[in-house]
Each structure stands twice: as structure tokens, then as C-alpha cells.
């Protein structure tokens, strides 16, 4: 919900608005449609339609974060932090793709997913704080 609120708070036309809003809605879908026990990965494990919806919504939402942070880096209140976050998210996503196929429930994937969430939430908090304190 924080990403959706930030997207709305960006009063002037801003490139981060659409990816933030769409990503927030997709995270809402991913949390509303939970995966089955063990959270199987549709590409490499037997899954249900519910698993596919959950995986696609969450994967697409997290793929939109670097788009939003890159847009914020070029037009937003925190260009350096946004570009650093873009780089971190893009690197994590690039590493997590193959790792998820090779070892979907391994410790590297688990740590990578948590780092992805942490980087996205840290940027969201910093960008929100910058919007609140801007003149």
C-alpha cells in the first residue's frame, strides 16, 4: 500500500507513478492469492493455477521496482539513492532468475528474496520521507 500511496503522492507527472501503482496492485494480488504449501515455482515444479497467479503477480511486481527507481533517479527527489537502488534491484533480479530455476527453495534464493524486499522497502521509505520534507 505504501507504493500506491507514494505513486499518488507524486503530484506532478512523474515516470515512477505507473510502475509504482501497477506494482502495488500486483503485490496486492500476490498477497490475496497465496501459493500452495511449499510455494512451488511454476517453471520447475508441479503447480496449480493459484500458484501461477501468485508467482506471476509477485514476479512482475518486483520486476517493476527497478523501473520505478530508475524513473525516480532521473526525475525524482533522490537521484543518487534511486540509482543505487535501481542497480541493487536489477542485480538481485538478474541473480534470482537463474537461481530460482536451479534451486527454487535454496538458501541463496531465500536470502535474495529478502534482500529484494528490503531494498525496495528502504527506497520506498526514503523516497516517501523526501516527499514529506520537500518544500
pTM: 0.74
Taking only the tens place, the pLDDT of each residue in 19-73 is 878 888 888 898 899 888 888 877 778 888 998 999 899 888 888 888 888 887 7
Percent of the chain with pLDDT over 90: 6
CB 40 within 8 A of CB 54: no
pLDDT at position 66 is 84
**Total domain count, the chain:** 1
Looking at 42-51, 103-112, 125-134, which range is the least confident one?
Answer: 125-134
Domain residues for the domain of 65 are 2-133
HEC string for the chain: CHHHHHHHHCCCCCCCHHHHHHHHHHHHHHHHCCCCCCCCCCCCCCCCHHHHHHHHHHHHHHHHHHHHHHHHHHHCCCHHHHHHHHHHHHHHHHHHHHHHHHCCCCHHHHHHHHHHHHHHHHHHHHHHHHHHHCC
pLDDT at position 10 is 54
Amino acid at each position: 500500500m505504501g507504493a500506491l500511496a507514494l505513486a499518488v503522492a507524486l503530484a506532478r507527472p512523474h515516470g515512477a507513478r505507473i510502475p509504482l501503482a501497477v506494482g502495488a496492485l500486483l503485490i496486492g494480488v500476490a498477497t490475496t492469492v497465496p501459493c500452495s504449501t511449499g510455494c512451488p515455482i511454476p517453471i520447475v515444479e508441479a503447480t496449480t493455477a493459484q500458484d501461477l497467479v501468485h508467482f506471476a503477480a509477485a514476479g512482475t511486481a518486483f520486476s517493476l521496482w527497478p523501473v520505478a527507481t530508475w524513473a525516480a533517479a532521473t526525475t525524482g527527489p533522490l537521484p543518487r539513492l534511486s540509482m543505487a537502488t535501481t542497480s541493487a534491484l536489477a542485480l538481485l533480479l538478474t541473480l534470482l532468475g537463474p537461481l530460482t530455476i536451479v534451486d527454487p527453495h535454496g538458501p541463496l534464493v531465500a536470502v535474495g528474496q529478502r534482500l529484494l524486499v528490503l531494498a525496495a522497502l528502504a527506497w520506498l521509505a526514503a523516497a516517501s520521507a523526501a516527499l514529506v520534507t520537500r518544500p
